[in-house]
Structure 1
Amino acid sequence: MKILVLGGYGLIGDAVIGRLLRDGHQVTGLGREVGDAGRRRPAVRWIAADMSKLLAAEDWLPVVAGMDAVVNAAGALQDGPRDRLDAVHRGSVVALVAACEQAGVHRFAQISAIGADLASPNPFFSTKAQGDKAVASSSLEWTILRPGLVIAPAAYGGTALLRALAAFPGFIPAVMPRQPIQTVSVADVAEAVSRAVAGSLPPRLAIDLVEGNARSLSDVLLSFRAWLGLPQARVMPMPAILGRFASVVADAVGVLGWRSPLRSSALAALADGITGNARSWNAVCDHPLQPLEATLADMPAHAQERWFARLWLAKPVIFACLSLFWLVSGIVGMIRQDQAADILASRGVSVDFAHICVLVGSAADIVVGAAVLVRPFAKPALLAMIAITLSYLAGATLFVPSLWLDPLGPLVKTIPGLCLVLVALAVLDER
């Protein structure tokens, strides 16, 4: 079959594509940035497009032409500079369904979410439900799959946060540790999609994908810690106010383009519990969904998983430290311009040139210190930090080489800062 997968490089979408390729299908993936995906999945034909801008059936017709089935694995957690929930979850789905009906697409698999409800005050769940309604109201052979907490070898968003909390040194911090959760393996979600597009499931089916029994968030975190091979630790309940504060900070950095799983939508979902009807799947399929223990056993953790878990919470600290260091450096240089220029002038540099160097250097420090906090500008800012630091070192070596022997080590101390920039570059990617 020819199958289109929306959000094909996401946590679920990538697993779905892998399964469909193994099934022998011809797969086309769609997403906003498909460069990396094309290198990782060269067997897939990739289309670069932003779903939030495909809001009419005519926009989708060239995309779905010739397709036998469509799988919608795209989604967003919360509105932000790069995400518009209503457009992605509802508007584009309404247009896509109309295009599929016109183009004669046979089957449509919609990846929804546990908790999707038109009456939900959470925009994530209400817009998801609106998209589901558009699919269910169509003439297509549709399947709506509502997975619980999806566990996969890949990790970002909420699953990355779980690993990071589980790897916390000494104890495991958790807000609302008693909330019930039902997980599902991403391989089981891909299996369900495979059966849906093949027509092996009853048509016009909306079904939950969750393990048989619910467990507390605390138990999930302890399972992840054991999976990482780390010493046992106690789960330490955190005050609810700390969770609310974290969500306020996460929503703020979301405006800057960072997709934190601690945003208010995620915490609201956790407060309601992540549970569904486990029996509904068993009633239509002879392939039982595996519990969390089996899911983790199928993807054994190694050193790279422990590295990731430990570095994940360090990442915001790294970027905050870099921003603070460069901003303070630039501001102090501006405020104490004469004293900074005197350091260069005392070593034979002309006064005018020294003042120009201080002004330009301080302004550059402030610009990159602010830019590194904005996700679209983070990589250019980090590269600029490297260039500026190397320029400082080269200029100082050329004009005032004695600074290398200064007892306070102003040049020597730039080397660790440069190394931290390299670490930030290494951990910049979110997915």
Structure 2
Amino acid sequence: MNILLLGNGLIGSHLRDALLMRGHQVRLLSRRALANPEYKVVQGDFAALQSSADWLPLLDGIDTVINTVGIFAESAGQSFTALHHAAPQALFAACETGKVQKVIHLSALGAGANAPTACLRSKGLGDAALMQSTLNWTIVRPSLIYAPDGASSRAFCSIASLPLLPDLQGVGKVQPVHLHDVLALLIRVVERPVAQQQIINAVGPQAMPLTTWWQQLRQGMGMARAITLPIAACLQNIAAKSAMLPLFQPDSLIMLRSGNCSDAAPFAAILGRAPQAAAPVNGSARDALLGWLLPLLKLSMALVWLGTAAVCLWAWPRADSYQLLADVGIPGAWQPLLFYGSVAMDSVFGLLCLLDLQGVQARSWRLQWLLVLAYSIIIAIRLPQFLWHPFGPLLKNLPIMALLLMLDLLSPSKTKPNS
């Protein structure tokens, strides 16, 4: 079967591979995908194809169109209206003109004209445009998708691995669905003559409170049940507005509070089996734990550097600081320069830690490690009393250096292979 696949994200990329394994001919529309001998890549911007005339050349020889394009938040050049409504509407009109045999459109559970968020309302407009056509269409509306390699799923697993599990007060039930089940459904719709012009809600086997799902994620990662900590709605709103947790923006909270559930029986009937649990199977908690431990460690290093700079500048007697520099062998004329220079360097490293915490790859961990090593060697030689001090002020640099080495080796530039 000749298939035009739109979207190369989490679902689109997995579906592409599954279709190729089953012998289908895939034509992929993408802004970034590179040429590949296994499938044809058409470079193009989905959002820019706003008329049926724009789409007709892409449909030449195509039997089935699968649209997996979607965004959760708008950005420059990517709006809900363009991606979820205008471009799909033009696509569906072109499919009618081009006599495409089947159109499969990936939407979202809860999409509709009266949905509580702009994202779901725009999805609803796109669905309506397809339903008004004469095409052989299937709209798939998945619930919250669990995918072992998905960014949002990894974030949910990290939350689930916290020592105290947040219990968000006032949120509705969720019914997460496993990516494998969504892919199985899409393959079945592509290859088999299921009922025409139907909406399929792809949901997990049961609806449950969000906290219950997090406990299931813990169990799947081999972790014991966690104690829950109730989080009032007002605190959730503060966190959402401050962008402290990317998964819990105002719109995502609105969706959670409105519920995200449906009857699983129709979905199971098409699959020919019950949906599987949306949780790891014999998984590891390592990556989930690192999801929140690494930010915590980065924040702790920022506080060490900034706290040290503040203590030196305002709390510790300046004369005592200069005396330490004199004991190291620094001439009096150079002491103010080195003092303020070290304060400035500590401050810069603290700010770089905070930038890294925000996702800006400052790549300063190795420089910090070298500075701590230099401090430690100089102090051990010139001020050996700190080496043998019962509080171990110098020996504590050893775990700090080990931490800096770990942060350097786990930085994205070190862990991701070159493409």
State the TM-score bracket (shorter-chain normalisation). 0.7 to 0.9
Larger C-alpha radius of gyration, 1 or 2? 2
TM-score scaled by length of structure 2: 0.76
Identical counterparts, % of pairs: 23
- Indicate the residue corresponding to 2:248 in structure 1: 262
Change in 2 beyond 3 A, CA 1:8/1:371: same
Deviation of the 1:115 alpha carbon: 0.6
TM-score scaled by length of structure 1: 0.74
- Indicate the residue corresponding to 1:205 in structure 2: 198
- The letter of the residue matching 1:23 is R
- The letter of the residue matching 2:292 is L
- Indicate the residue corresponding to 1:257 in structure 2: none
Change in 2 beyond 3 A, CA 1:398/1:23: same
Q: Secondary structure at the match of 2:200?
A: strand
**Structure 2: segments with no counterpart, 5+ residues:** 388-392
Q: Secondary structure at the match of 1:290?
A: coil
- Indicate the residue corresponding to 2:349 in structure 1: 365
- For residues 177 and 161 of structure 1, the distance between their equivalents in structure 2, rounded to whole angstroms, comes to 21
- Indicate the residue corresponding to 2:137 in structure 1: 142
Q: Secondary structure at the match of 1:372?
A: helix
Change in 2 beyond 3 A, CA 1:312/1:396: closer
- The letter of the residue matching 2:114 is A
Once the two structures are superposed, what CA deviation does each residue of 1:332-366 show, in whole Å capped at 9, x if it has no partner? Answer: 78889x99899778644883974895587467436
Alignment check: 8 A CA contact 2:145 2:179 kept? yes
- Indicate the residue corresponding to 2:282 in structure 1: 301
Deviation of the 1:146 alpha carbon: 0.8
- The letter of the residue matching 2:4 is L
Once the two structures are superposed, what CA deviation does each residue of 1:132-191 show, in whole Å capped at 9, x if it has no partner? Answer: 22333345432110112323333432x33443344333x533214883333333222112
Which residues of 2 match residues 31-50 of structure 1 at below 5 A? 31=30, 34=33, 43-45=38-40
- For residues 288 and 272 of structure 1, the distance between their equivalents in structure 2, rounded to whole angstroms, comes to 30
1:221 equivalent among 205, 214, 217:
214
Change in 2 beyond 3 A, CA 1:333/1:42: farther
Change in 2 beyond 3 A, CA 1:99/1:240: same
Alignment check: 8 A CA contact 2:65 2:104 kept? yes
- For residues 237 and 270 of structure 2, the distance between their equivalents in structure 1, rounded to whole angstroms, comes to 42
Change in 2 beyond 3 A, CA 1:42/1:60: same
- For residues 355 and 178 of structure 1, the distance between their equivalents in structure 2, rounded to whole angstroms, comes to 53
- For residues 108 and 84 of structure 2, the distance between their equivalents in structure 1, rounded to whole angstroms, comes to 11
1:388 equivalent in alignment to 2:367: yes
- For residues 369 and 294 of structure 2, the distance between their equivalents in structure 1, rounded to whole angstroms, comes to 23
Once the two structures are superposed, what CA deviation does each residue of 1:302-341 show, in whole Å capped at 9, x if it has no partner? Answer: 3xx31123223334434444555555567778889x9989
Structure 1, 203-212 or 260-269: larger mean CA deviation: 203-212
- Indicate the residue corresponding to 1:93 in structure 2: 88
**Structure 1: segments with no counterpart, 5+ residues:** 255-259
C-alpha RMSD over aligned residues: 4.3
1:5 equivalent in alignment to 2:5: yes
Change in 2 beyond 3 A, CA 1:74/1:219: same
- For residues 52 and 307 of structure 2, the distance between their equivalents in structure 1, rounded to whole angstroms, comes to 52
How many residue pairs match? The answer is 404
1:275 equivalent in alignment to 2:275: no
Deviation of the 1:263 alpha carbon: 1.6
Change in 2 beyond 3 A, CA 1:67/1:359: farther
Alignment check: 8 A CA contact 2:148 2:154 kept? no
- The letter of the residue matching 1:181 is V
- Indicate the residue corresponding to 1:167 in structure 2: 161
